[in-house]
């Protein structure tokens, strides 16, 4: 306007998106927005407000720590909550953690009381092994169809004696331990799981996969007779006025970056795998060891496994920004990996005081309260902090070598 010789003060801004005119069938609303902008009148002052009755119940999708906290706060306000989680237990990724930065508080000590509170709260209805299938209705009055996968174990009758799991002949990698340990086809995700009951993994259960023609030993061994391997999918419809999405995150697939050797070298681990290795409830009881080649009788093959007989590493390298700040993958900063990696360095120095620990980072982004102090503490503990970009991981003489360039 200034370049045209006009008065810049006469420029009017009209935002269709801000005022809800974003589709072709809202042309009349768009005209009204333009008219208000030309006349210098706020659209909200000119618009006739529409009052809508809102159903008091709330649906929360995802039962990690965010969904759990939201459910507790809404329920404590006296509103009914439907909490939907697609796995067999609430807790999400935080249940896998050992310590939290920068205070190094016990993650389970923070999360477990909240999980128990959710399981016992009369205003929270919990749907595990469930997913939202359909959302219909209008704002303030939604009809939601929830598809509940069969747990095949009566969670109210189960006493978690473990007889079913001990008898199960099928062993598969444990999702909770990120594949570095195994579980049976009938299992409990972890001892503090909520609901605190066993469940059947249909994808690996011989009975389910064979249509009832094979196995079924777990049902025969259960002293409470609470296992029904023929249980079917259930659909439940609920009415809610609000929906909270707390679906969490998926981890980056490290096999996409071949130069780091993940999936090739047995002792290249992702962050969550290392988290489970260092956790006291993990497969080694929190001992940091290297993988050992063992013969698996069931699989009839040699496999790399973590066990207490494994040797401790003499040096550990922690690489930041894997899959982040890279135009071939994700161009943005993950925002959490600096502090997360520094926490690992502390755990390595604490549990392996004689081992060398190296941090390879691009930029140190310790942005929160107490974070910069934590970063300085790691240096004081003897970690070698190297600024640069890691290029490649190779192996020679039974050890791994990491190459890169410093800035």
- Per-residue pLDDT tens digits for 357-395: 999 999 999 989 999 999 999 999 999 999 988 889 999
The whole-number pLDDT of residue 296 equals 75
Determine contact, residues 81/74, Cβ cutoff 8 Å: yes
Residue 313 covered by a domain: yes
CATH number at residue 356: 3.50.50
> Does one domain contain both 272 and 336?
yes
Q: CB atoms < 10 A from the CB of 103, how many?
A: 9
Same domain as 346, residue 279: yes
Residues 184, 100, single domain; the answer is no
For residue range 199-251, list pLDDT tens digits in order: 999 999 999 999 999 999 999 999 999 999 999 999 999 999 999 999 999 99
For the cut 90, the answer to whether the pLDDT of residue 49 exceeds it is: no
Structural domain that includes position 315: 254-297+305-406
Give the CATH number of the domain where residue 91 resides: 3.50.50.60
Give the three-class secondary structure for 228: coil
The pLDDT of residue 84 is: 98
Query: Do 278 and 387 share a domain, yes or no?
Result: yes
pLDDT band at 94 (very low <50, low <70, confident <90, very high): very high
Same domain for 128 and 37, yes or no, is: no
Residues 122, 194: one domain?
no
* Neighbouring-strand partners of residue 406: 388
In a domain, 285, yes or no: yes
Domain count, the chain: 4
345, 387 contact by CB (below 8 A)? no
25 and 70 part of one domain? no
Q: Is residue 343 part of a domain?
A: yes
Residue 7: inside a domain: no
CA dist 279 and 282 (Å) reads 5
Is 228 within a domain? no
Asked whether residue 298 carries a pLDDT value surpassing 80, the answer given is no
Q: How far is CA 329 from the centre of its chain?
A: 20
* Shared domain check, 183 and 217: yes
Give yes or no: residues 270 and 335 share one domain: yes
Q: Do residues 387 and 286 share a domain?
A: yes
My answer on whether 23 and 82 are in the same domain is no
Let me know whether 274 and 344 are in one domain. Answer: yes
Q: Is residue 5 part of a domain?
A: no
> Which sign, positive or negative, has the C-alpha torsion 295, 296, 302, 307?
negative
* DSSP alpha helix (H) spans, 23-153: 27-39, 43-46, 65-76, 107-120
Domain annotation covers residue 282: yes
Does residue 80 sit within a domain? yes
d(CA 37, CA 372): 47
Q: Give percent of the chain above pLDDT 70.
A: 100
Structure token digits, residue 317: 């390298």
């Amino acid at each position: 306007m200034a370049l045209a010789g006009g008065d810049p003060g006469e420029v009017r801004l009209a935002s269709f998106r801000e005022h809800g005119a974003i589709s072709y069938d809202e042309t009349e609303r768009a005209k009204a927005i333009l008219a208000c902008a030309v006349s210098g009148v706020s659209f909200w002052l000119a618009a006739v407000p529409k009052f809508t009755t809102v159903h008091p119940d709330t649906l929360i999708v995802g039962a990690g720590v965010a969904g759990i906290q939201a459910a507790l706060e809404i329920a404590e306000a006296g509103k009914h909550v439907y909490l939907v989680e697609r796995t067999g237990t609430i807790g999400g990724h935080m249940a896998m953690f050992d310590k939290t930065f920068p205070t190094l508080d016990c993650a389970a000590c923070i999360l477990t009381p909240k999980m128990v509170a959710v399981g016992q709260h009369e205003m929270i209805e919990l749907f595990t092994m469930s997913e939202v299938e359909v959302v219909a209705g209008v704002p303030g009055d939604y009809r939601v169809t929830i598809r509940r996968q069969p747990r095949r174990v009566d969670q109210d009758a189960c006493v978690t004696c473990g007889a079913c799991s001990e008898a199960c002949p099928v062993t598969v990698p444990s999702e909770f331990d990120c594949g570095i340990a195994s579980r049976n086809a009938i299992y409990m995700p972890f001892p503090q799981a909520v609901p605190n009951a066993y469940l059947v993994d249909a994808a690996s259960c011989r009975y389910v996969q064979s249509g009832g023609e094979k196995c079924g030993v777990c049902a025969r061994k259960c002293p409470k007779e609470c296992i029904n391997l023929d249980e079917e999918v259930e659909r439940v419809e609920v009415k809610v006025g609000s929906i909270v999405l707390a679906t969490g995150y998926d981890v980056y697939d490290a096999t996409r970056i071949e130069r780091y050797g993940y999936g090739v070298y047995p002792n290249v681990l992702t962050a969550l795998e290392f988290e489970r290795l260092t956790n006291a409830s993990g497969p080694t009881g929190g001992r940091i060891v290297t993988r050992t080649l063992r013969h698996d009788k069931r699989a009839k093959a040699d496999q790399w496994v973590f066990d207490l007989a494994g040797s401790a590493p003499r040096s550990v390298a922690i690489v930041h920004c894997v899959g982040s700040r890279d135009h071939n993958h994700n161009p943005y900063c993950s925002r959490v990996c600096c502090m997360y990696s520094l926490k690992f360095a502390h755990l390595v120095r604490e549990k392996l005081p004689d081992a060398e620990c190296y941090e390879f980072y691009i930029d140190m982004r310790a942005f929160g309260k107490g974070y910069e102090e934590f970063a300085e503490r790691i240096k004081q503990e003897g970690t070698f902090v190297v600024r640069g970009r890691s290029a490649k991981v190779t192996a020679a003489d039974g050890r791994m070598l990491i190459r890169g360039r410093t800035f």
